[in-house]
Structure 1
Amino acid sequence: MSRLYDVVGIGIGPYNLGLAALMEKTELEGIFLDRTPEFRWHPGMMIEKMDLQVPFLADVVTFADPTSPYSYLNYLHKQNRMFKFFFYSEFKVPRPEYNAYLSWVANQLENLRFGKTVVDVIDHKDDETPHYEVVVKEEDGQTESYFGKHVVMGTGSEPLILDSMSGFPVEDVLHTSSYLYEKENLLHSKHVTVVGSGQSAAEVFLDLLQEQMNRDMHLTLLTRSGGLFQLDSSKLGQEFFSPDYVDYFHSLSYDQRMKALDTLGNLRKGIDPDTLIQLYETLYHRTVDGKKANVTIQPLTEVQEINAGEGHYTLKCKQWQKEETFDYHSEKVVLATGYKPHIPKWFQERFADEIEWEDDKRYKVTRDFRLEFKDTHTNHFFTLTNLEHSHGAGATNLGLAVQRNIEIINLLAGKEIYQNQRDTIFQQFTMDEDKKK
């Protein structure tokens, strides 16, 4: 066995990127692997003038270490943009700039390896020093192994496309993750339909609407939800993304957790209020003097199937409240149908029978983000992927991602490297024993 790292990170997104950055102030040694040739974060959705939905403090390090050289504020300072950001007077960050920030962090870290596709992870749990062997395929097709006492899987998510909507040319029927790659093609179409109800659907529809002015194009937005509702950004509501609430949520039974997720829908889903304001104002100004907006926006409508026609696509739709079905024709279709956790094939083959599951898709995860094995494991397998059922609405929140990394680093180090803060909010979720009567 060659060099044995304390941890091997699989996937380099914001979560593992933050872990790599925070490990620099520790004695822990880690290596992080990703299949892409360079750092990329949702490149198909870097739409101009669209902001991140969390404040700039939710960078990859600040909640753990505000003095870190990898903070967003230090990025602005190094780019000579501090005064510009100060006069910009916004708490939110433009999404393309956040992507530039992440790339800036990645370019400074020496423990990242790109162009490494993980094809297998072998659990050497019975060795004198239990560890994992992470097998990667290089860009030239050769294989190589990395060895780590522990593994952190941060493989992120992948587009969710129903079988009834797949198999068509990507230039005609595409997921929002490919939007910018196909945008120019869409702009030469006579009719584009966006299917979805969340932030991505609203952003793509708004971007096309702003480009539509001098084009002979009809735009349609079909959404299954009851309307284009805004995300709950209330201050007390945001406390459900705190470590304190995660403690409470994780303590619930599986059934209680799934029910709790349903009650938090307005915090998990919905559209940023600023995006909805821009959308409405664009439509309002577009229709001055009785002009037509040349758009169709219809909620309460489920697209059940897509079929190819002659020069168009037929969307099989159902207005579920009135239980009316109808066909709708469009030249192009953009699917804002969300994402699902990306669980690699090697994980299913190697670990599906070795770990505990909550149901057939959701594995059991400890409060400190370790998979629960059926037998005793001293070589831990951490996961940053597929956590909503175990850690609540904040599982994909960028701010809480730093909190995850605090807990992982402290556990690996065997001491508190970064302060694991609690009692951070004004609410409580169960009554203190001494206050019960």
Structure 2
Amino acid sequence: MTTQQPYDLAGIGIGPANLSLAALAHTQPGLTAAWYEQRPAFHWHPGLLIEGATLQVPFLADLVTLADPTNPWSFLNYLRHHQRLYPFYLSERFHSPRAEYDDYCRWVSRGLPSLRFGHHVDAVRWDAAQGLFGIDYTRLGPDGEAEAVGRAHARNLAIGIGTAPHIPGPLRPLAERPVVPVIHSADYLDHRERLLAAAHITVIGSGQSGAEVFLDLLRHRPPGRERLHWITRTPAFAPMEYSKLGLEHFTPDYTRYFHALPEQRRDELVARQWQLHKAIDHQTLADIHDELYRHSIGGGWPDVVLTPGVSVRTAGRIGTTQVELHLDHAEQGERSRLVTEAVVMATGYRERPLDPLLAALDPLLHRDAAGRITVDERYRLGLDREVTGSVYVLNAERHTHGVGAPDLGLVAHRSATILNSVTGEERYRLPERSAFTTFGLRPGGGGEETPGGGAAGAGAGAGGQRQGARRVSV
């Protein structure tokens, strides 16, 4: 078992959230840090890097720019490094292709010496005698086999283990024994050719991923013989709220306002705000309609069925080549049966639970009325006073910070807030105001002291216990 000097900050998981934190930490003098990830290299949603798909956030929502435009790990510096600044400039792009964002993040990950890929974190515990967190890990070989065990120590932790594909209960038995292709959209490209060979395909779910998968299938099925179904529980194939004032829900101002609300009110808001982050980009909807229209040229309607307001009640296999879905229509109160040869579940993602990783810390964790771990304004878990270090969470705080928690446009601000807290200094000067909207009646809308929702020093680390799907999940 290997040991080393304690780090100021150790991260667990390397997705865009922790990669942003590592990139901003890299330029900070005197700060020692390391990040651990079980995968052998960085990849961002590889199964959904469909040709032509773009990010739903502007290129400025990279890992660092909205906190530090001069940081060497910016997207613009990535373009410069690859001698692509002028082509990007002349293309007049504001939204980058998804594949380019993935390549940008991999470029950053290859340049940061603090990243430890191929390391599976087995356990985390608090060592009160040393005042340090202990991180037990297993170093993995090229094929994922265990090669060695080790232990690191850190004064603070940053946990960004991301989300996992969600498979609804009725479809779980089919996905676990996929004789017929029943796959989550996260694995779409790995199974694309097999899906296209199926006689009939059903897409379930009407978020951006479902729309992109449906559009890609539609573009590659012959007109008049598309044989596609697209169903969703939502009452419509709804456009995402993308007005400029609507997007102010993805600002630090709104995050502070939301965090200051009572727990019950926060839960009610998250449930109502699905169209801010679970709906479909306007251009994607337009592209789907254009493609359907193209397939109708010649006088025939495409062999396509798009039905909202439908949920899957039960599902089962018919032999080895078909699946039957038993459907409920919410508004009609009717039921029907759909037989298909392949299913793509664009049913979203769920936050990976922190409890298994933090089992040794469980007696020290604070929880809310619903049993969830509390998170303060600075993204710190609520811990008993005997724990002098901090545990920060990234993209596991929607219940406390709102719909912007997984949004790429807020990753740099969150990272800067965490680093200010870790260092106890205002290493990154964060905006006192970021939205024209004032979200509450009191000045700042949520208990802040400056007009418009800006809390002076809200991102600074002067002590005290304060703290991706719109859009694109991290």
Fold equivalence (TM over 0.5): yes
Shift of 1:242: 0.9
In the other structure, the counterpart of 1:132 is 133
Query: What SS class does the counterpart of residue 35 from structure 2 fall into?
Result: strand
Say whether 1:38 aligns with 2:44.
no
CA contact (8 A) 1:153 1:384 kept: yes
Shift of 1:224: 0.8
CA contact (8 A) 1:5 1:29 kept: yes
The whole-number CA distance in structure 2 between the counterparts of 1:55 and 1:309 is: 45
The whole-number CA distance in structure 2 between the counterparts of 1:375 and 1:283 is: 60
In the other structure, the counterpart of 1:114 is 117
Say whether 1:204 aligns with 2:205.
no
Deviates more, 1:202-211 or 1:424-433: 424-433
Q: 1:345 to 1:393 in 2, by over 3 A?
A: closer
Shift of 1:217: 4.3
In the other structure, the counterpart of 2:313 is 304
What is the aligned-residue RMSD (CA, Å)? 1.8
The whole-number CA distance in structure 2 between the counterparts of 1:55 and 1:359 is: 37
Indicate which of 89, 93, 101 corresponds to 1:98.
101
CA contact (8 A) 2:124 2:358 kept: no
In the other structure, the counterpart of 1:400 is 410
Q: 1:240 to 1:345 in 2, by over 3 A?
A: closer
CA contact (8 A) 1:119 1:346 kept: no
Normalization by structure 2: what TM-score?
A: 0.88
Indicate which of 288, 299, 303 corresponds to 2:297.
288
| 1:184-220 alpha-carbon deviations (Å, 9 max, x no partner) | 1001110010000111110000000011127954111
Say whether 1:237 aligns with 2:246.
yes
CA contact (8 A) 1:115 1:138 kept: yes
| 1:268-291 alpha-carbon deviations (Å, 9 max, x no partner) | 221011111110000011101212
| 1:206-261 alpha-carbon deviations (Å, 9 max, x no partner) | 00001112795411101111111110110011111111111111011101111222
Indicate which of 20, 23, 28 corresponds to 1:21.
23
Indicate which of 6, 9, 17 corresponds to 1:7.
9
**Aligned residue runs from structure 1 range 217-232, under 5 A:** 217-232=226-241
Q: 1:378 to 1:413 in 2, by over 3 A?
A: same
Say whether 1:279 aligns with 2:288.
yes
Q: 1:206 to 1:84 in 2, by over 3 A?
A: same
Q: 1:217 to 1:381 in 2, by over 3 A?
A: same
Query: What SS class does the counterpart of residue 53 from structure 1 fall into?
Result: coil
Indicate which of 385, 409, 429 corresponds to 2:419.
409
Indicate which of 341, 349, 368 corresponds to 2:359.
349
Say whether 1:147 aligns with 2:150.
no
Indicate which of 381, 387, 410 corresponds to 1:377.
387
Gaps of 5+ in 2: 444-448, 452-474
In the other structure, the counterpart of 2:348 is 338
| Residue type of the alignment partner of 2:426 | E
CA contact (8 A) 2:156 2:390 kept: yes
Shift of 1:369: 0.5
Shift of 1:35: 0.5
CA contact (8 A) 1:189 1:217 kept: no
CA contact (8 A) 2:416 2:428 kept: yes
Indicate which of 243, 250, 255 corresponds to 2:264.
255
Q: Percent same amino acid among aligned pairs?
A: 34
In the other structure, the counterpart of 2:170 is 164
Deviates more, 1:228-237 or 1:160-169: 160-169
Say whether 1:424 aligns with 2:434.
yes
CA contact (8 A) 2:203 2:230 kept: yes
Shift of 1:82: 1.6
Normalization by structure 1: what TM-score?
A: 0.95
The whole-number CA distance in structure 2 between the counterparts of 1:426 and 1:417 is: 26
The whole-number CA distance in structure 2 between the counterparts of 1:304 and 1:210 is: 30
| Residue type of the alignment partner of 1:3 | Q
Query: What SS class does the counterpart of residue 368 from structure 1 fall into?
Result: coil
When the two structures are aligned, how many residues end up with a matched partner? 433
| Residue type of the alignment partner of 1:318 | D
